[in-house]
Amino acid sequence: MPAHHPKWFPGLAITYTCASSWKLHRALRGRPGISWVPASIAHLRRSVLGVPAVFASGRLVLLDPVSPEDVEALSSGSSAGPLTAGEALQNFVAGVLYNQALLSLVVLHGSFSPIAEDRELVEVLTRARFKGRPEAAEEAAEELADGGRAMFEESYERAIKALAFGMARELYWLGLKPGDVDERFAAAWLLAKATVGRIGLQFPRPGVDKKTAADLAAVIEERGEAYLAKVEEEQKAIAADADFLSLFS
């Protein structure tokens, strides 16, 4: 970010394969005061487990989904506003569904509870930090601690479909086909996707629920070709945007 920009102007961590990052840059390109930064390993220390990630005043404020209006509100200092506990929980679920790292973790555990233990992530995912309403995050965290499994079960079908789309992106990069995915492939992929080293494994015995693996493989079998076509379309559009790609060179 240029030195003359005040520190509260938004900074966005992005990646070159991310359609959300690309769309956000396309909508905001040329706007003054916005810093675009390629995400790196160092961002993990700042709770960036997905992109785009938006910082203001040196703090992580938003993870995807992020709209151009969100960034403009931060730029103008107008993001603060009311936020009920119910709205905070809805935001939390949406944020997890958009985030493959967190989504794989909750699918592996069959509950939102593991994320509820990280209060910074709860503040960000609920949009309590964006809205300036930390008390809404506290209420949401309490609800998640007690009802994280029940809430996940309500969102299970959406979670499996969102996770399958994420798998399709990786099939695309590896040149694999939906027919390469069976239940064993899905289980191994999920266990690896949801963990960092051994962090994230269940106690007392790690494993992937057989129904979860079967459902994930079934979605890929049914929708995999359509998902791959969508991924190919978005990646070709990104590859044609020289201005966006120049941020990473």
pLDDT in tens, the chain (249 residues): 333 333 445 799 999 999 999 999 999 999 998 999 999 999 999 999 999 999 999 999 999 999 999 999 999 999 999 999 999 999 999 999 999 999 999 999 999 999 998 999 999 999 999 999 999 999 999 999 889 999 999 999 999 999 999 999 999 999 999 999 999 999 999 999 999 999 999 999 999 999 999 999 999 999 999 999 999 999 999 999 999 999 999
What local confidence, expressed as pLDDT, does residue 233 receive?
98
Q: Is the previous residue joined to 65 through a cis bond, with omega within 30 degrees of 0?
A: yes
Q: Is 13 helix (H, G, I), strand (E, B) or coil?
A: strand
CA count, 13 A, side-chain hemisphere, 82: 2
- Which tokens go with 138? 């506290």
Torsion of CA 94, 106, 38, 27, to 10 degrees: -10
Cα(130)–Cα(21) distance, integer angstroms? 19
- Which tokens go with 137? 């995050």
Helix extents (H) in 33-112 = 68-76, 85-97, 100-109
CB 49 within 8 A of CB 108: no
- DSSP assignment letter at 42: G
No. of helices (H) and no. of strands (E), the chain: 12, 4
What local confidence, expressed as pLDDT, does residue 2 receive?
35
Q: Is 83 helix (H, G, I), strand (E, B) or coil?
A: coil
What local confidence, expressed as pLDDT, does residue 7 receive?
45
- Taking domain 11-79, whether its CATH number is 3.40.30 is answered by yes
Written as one letter, the residue type at 103 is L
Helix (H) or strand (E) holding 14: strand 11-14
- Look-up of token digits 């996770």: 163
Spell out the domain ranges in the chain.
11-79, 85-154, 157-239
The closest alpha carbon to 143, from 63, 82, 83, 85, belongs to 85
What local confidence, expressed as pLDDT, does residue 1 receive?
34
